[in-house]
Amino acid sequence: MSTATASRPQPHRDELTPDQCLCDYCTGKCCRYFSLPIDTPKTWDDYDAIRWYLAHDQVSIYVDEDTWYLAVLTRCKYLTPEYRCAIYEDRPKVCREYLTDNCEYDSDWKVAKLFESPEQLWEYAEAVLPPRRKPSVRPAAPPGGLIPVSALTASLPRSSP
């Protein structure tokens, strides 16, 4: 816990009187990440795409009530050191519409599934998906495509009779 958090008493939300605002007792938890719903992965390719998300710093994937989300743990640049919004009057609509009623003020972030690394996700994919088909082994085509056999033989030196 940071010193700033420790020095800020955090009453239970039910203890607040109507003239008090929950945000005055919070360190801006909702301003330190954003998350977006993503399609539920069903195939190896789907999981591979999510694996790529997780290859980036500060990215997590979580599942809540059967919906998959991509979360980016990054502090909003408008959150001041005093945990205020520097553009409060002009904050984005998503912030305006976000209410304290069900916010994460006192949440312990429990979710059904949480993946914080590509390895965690891959392990899960291996448990829920059928085995991956190995890519078929074929010799690589030369740049520019396949060369007709006739062209190859035409360039070979003729053997002596």
Q: How far apart are CA 69 and CA 145, in angstroms?
A: 41
Q: CA 63 to CA 146: how far, in whole Å?
A: 46
**Which amino acid is located at 82 in the chain?**
E
Minimum CB separation of residue 54 from ligand SF4 in Å reads 23
Which CB, 99 or 128, lies closer to ligand SF4? 99
Least distance from ligand SF4 to the Cβ atom of residue 133, Å: 44
Q: What CA–CA distance (Å, rounded) separates 115 from 35? A: 14
Rounded least distance, CB 100 to ligand SF4, Å: 5
Query: For binding to ligand SF4 (CB under 6 A), which residues are involved?
Result: 22-23, 26, 28-31, 76, 78-79, 85, 87, 91-92, 95, 98, 100, 103-105
Closest separation in Å from C-beta 115 to ligand SF4: 23
Nearer to ligand SF4, 93 or 133 (CB): 93
- For ligand SF4, the closer of residues 65 and 89 by Cβ is 89
- Helix H, strand E, coil C: the string for 70-116 is EEECCCCCCECCCCCECCHHHCCHHHHCCCCCCCHHHCCCCCCEEEC
> How far does the chain reach from its first CA to its final CA, in angstroms?
88
Nearer to ligand SF4, 40 or 107 (CB): 107
